[in-house]
Amino acid sequence: MNNPLRLIIDAVLVVAVAVLFYLHFSSKSAAPAPAKAAVVQPVAKDDDDTTATVAEPIVAVADTDKVAYVESGKLLEGYKAMQDARRSFEAKARGWEKQNQALVTGFQNAVQQYQKQAESLTPEQRAATEQKLQAQQQQAGVAQEKLQRQAQEEEAKMTQQVLERVNKQIEKYGKDNGYKLILIAAPSGTIAYGRKDIDITDAVLKHLNREYSAKK
């Protein structure tokens, strides 16, 4: 065995969240309708030329023109729930990295020990040792793949939980404030242009953090 056997793990343990979701709110909670107003109309009655009061209802029209958008990146970066989730994930990631490093170090030490003893070993002993090293390499590779899958699953779970919370709270905010539509401006270019006066990212972020802090 001329070259030491080495393991390489390519695990990305960084939270990367891409959000693209679209919410459509029907304006169910419209402002209460004002009281009926009396409209006076002249009505001819024989020769007296009197007037009669006819009540016509005035129907309240819901505000269906309220459309706005939020910037997904800014929203998630400033959301305390995401910040806490990221810190929790990164703490777990450090533990996984330690486990991975232990696998790599253990294998490297075994290879170095073999190299030191190789010249004094018989051909049969060298073959047996190399076979053990190959088995150790395979076992370490399986363990590393398990760690990587665990990290990916944990990241996906964490992201899903935060997004579900964001979706729920944006829906509540939209209904409570009479919005017909709230769009998400994502880096992928979901919204090519939006006037700044309909950007409600800051207002929604305050709502999200207020709700999250109240439930902690």
pTM (2 decimals)? 0.62
At residue 53, does pLDDT exceed 80? no
- Inter-helix orientation angle 123-176/80-117, to 10°: 180
Query: What is the CATH T-level fold of the domain 23-27+36-215, as seen in this structure?
Result: Protein Binding, DinI Protein; Chain A (3.30.910)
Residues 145-168: what's their mean pLDDT?
95
pLDDT-based confidence at 29, cuts 50/70/90?
A: very low
pLDDT of residue 189: 73
Using the predicted structure, report yes or no on whether residue 171 has a pLDDT greater than 80: yes
Please write the tens of the pLDDT for every residue from 123-154.
999 999 999 999 999 999 999 999 999 999 99
For residues 26-49, give the mean pLDDT. 38
pLDDT above 90 (res 3):
no
Predicted pLDDT of residue 187? 81
Model confidence pLDDT, tens digit, residues 63-105: 457 999 999 999 999 999 999 999 999 999 999 999 999 999 9
What ranges do the domains of the chain cover? 23-27+36-215
Q: What is the pLDDT of residue 64?
A: 52
Q: Quick one: pLDDT at residue 26? A: 32
Predicted pLDDT at 42: 39
